[in-house]
Amino acid sequence: MKVLVVGSGGREHALCWAISKSPLCDKIYCLPGNAGISSYAECVNIKVNDIEGIISFAEKESIDFAVIGPEEPLVLGISDELKKKNIKTFGPSASAAKLEGSKAFMKDIVYRNNIPTASYGCFSDIDKAKQYIHKHGAPIVVKTSGLAAGKGVFICNSVNEAINAVDKIMDEKIFGLSGQEIIIEEFLEGEEVSFFALVNGKKILPLASAQDHKAVGDGDTGPNTGGMGAYSPAPIMNSSLEKKIIDEIILPTTNALIDQDSPYQGVLFAGLMITKEGPKLLEYNIRFGDPECQVLMRRLKSDLLSALIATCDNQLDNITLKWCDEKAIVVIMASDGYPGDYKKGSIIENTFIAEKKDEIEIFHSGTLFKNDDLIASGGRVLGVTATGKTVTEAHKNVYEAINLIKWPEGFYRKDIGWRAIKLEK
């Protein structure tokens, strides 16, 4: 089977790594891929938003199965276009992808179906947005309605901070058209958890849980990023909480999409806050999380490709996924300056030395090879991933590996997994 993976991040590296183990897989192409992905797939320099280019390539190479990694091509309708060419594709239609493409659309579904979430207002008028902030006070959360690569969320501890966030998004347009419409919502207290499920219409197969670290700095400080690290499983998740999430959040959403003639097919990722009142939905993502995908793939014992195909074929009832008992943790190494301005082109050394131990796997995000040197070409660059019998052991393993990597122009958080480690002590 010829498999096409679309994307160039750590998520896509982890997907290619897992898919390459499947006996069903004969060949993997990745568009555009990165230096790490090239070990498992043939990388072709076609951008993820070049829908025509991707379709043309898929037809030319007689692709049997396509896996769409990032949100942008899904929102642009790549799944619909590939399916028109009779290419089986894992990922939701453009109409269902609006769950992530428009937070206003998502909030409307949530509101109409009594799904527990933060109270909110939706605004395209800057003055009305500011009036709402003054009325409700702080702490308060300001979000772009459109896609912003995980950076469009501002958790504001004062009214002035929230007003400044509105100005940055709507007046200075730091996220372009994604900030034409914004969501302002109640600040929820509790513990965040990432919930993933394979979905086809009303059929839902939960995956292992994970917990992400979005803030750039130790102690969960600084601006939000696309994710600075993650671990799996999340200690807060149990079978009763999982059932509550499915019954009160996931199923009402998938049923609402069916009612709108937009049945969901793919992986559905719910960002949740576990509050004193129970789980509440923060946001939906229409793809695997990055970096959560890296720890999920490290723990998955089953054939990923078979599971993805079963999702497309509406055969989820016939799939049982097995997960290893070991814990997994990933720490993101990023370019200095991220999530703001950063320089590209620095050389990274000793990754092969760091990866020698069986419990270590390094998933690349922003890398390329130049004259046999590994070069940093993005903001988030490497996802150093480790397993261990406990999160504490995995934490020790991952930071020992990081200490072997020579990259003065990079940085990383030193406290990934702190919540789970605290519980283990």
In this prediction, residue 152 carries a pLDDT of 86
pLDDT category of residue 147 using cuts at 50, 70 and 90: confident
pLDDT category of residue 192 using cuts at 50, 70 and 90: very high
| pLDDT of 408 higher than 80 | yes
Contact 216, 339 (CB under 8 A): yes
The helix (H) or strand (E) run that includes residue 278 is strand 278-285
| pLDDT of 149 higher than 80 | no
Among residues 312, 318, 368, the alpha carbon closest in space to that of 3 is found at: 312
- Residue 317 neighbours by CB distance under 10 Å: 10
DSSP per-residue letters across 93-139: -HHHHHHHH-HHHHHHHHHHTT--B--EEEES-HHHHHHHHHHH-SS
Class of domain 125-180: alpha beta
In this prediction, residue 425 carries a pLDDT of 81
SS3 category, 87: coil
CATH 3.30.470.20 domain range(s) in the chain: 191-318
Query: Mean of the per-residue pLDDT values for the chain?
Result: 96
CATH 3.90.600.10 fits 327-424, yes or no: yes
CATH classification code of 2-91: 3.40.50.20
- Residue with tokens 């509050």, as numbered in its chain: 275
pTM (whole model) above 0.85: yes
CATH 3.90.600.10 domain range(s) in the chain: 327-424
- Residue with tokens 């102690």, as numbered in its chain: 219
pLDDT, tens digit, 9 for 90 and up, residues 7-63? 999 999 999 999 999 999 999 999 999 999 999 999 999 999 999 999 999 999 999
Contact 333, 342 (CB under 8 A): no
Angle at 272 between CA 270 and CA 274, to 5 degrees: 150
pLDDT category of residue 89 using cuts at 50, 70 and 90: very high
CATH 3.40.50.20 domain range(s) in the chain: 2-91
Contact 186, 298 (CB under 8 A): no
CATH 3.30.1490.20 domain range(s) in the chain: 125-180
pLDDT, tens digit, 9 for 90 and up, residues 336-358? 999 999 999 999 999 999 999 99
Percent of the chain at pLDDT exceeding 70: 100
Overall fold of domain 191-318: D-amino Acid Aminotransferase; Chain A, domain 1 (3.30.470)
Burial label for 388, CB within 10 Å (0-12, 13-18, 19+), is middle
Backbone angles phi, psi at 143, to 5 degrees: -135, 145
> Helical H runs in 300-417?
304-312, 351-354, 391-402
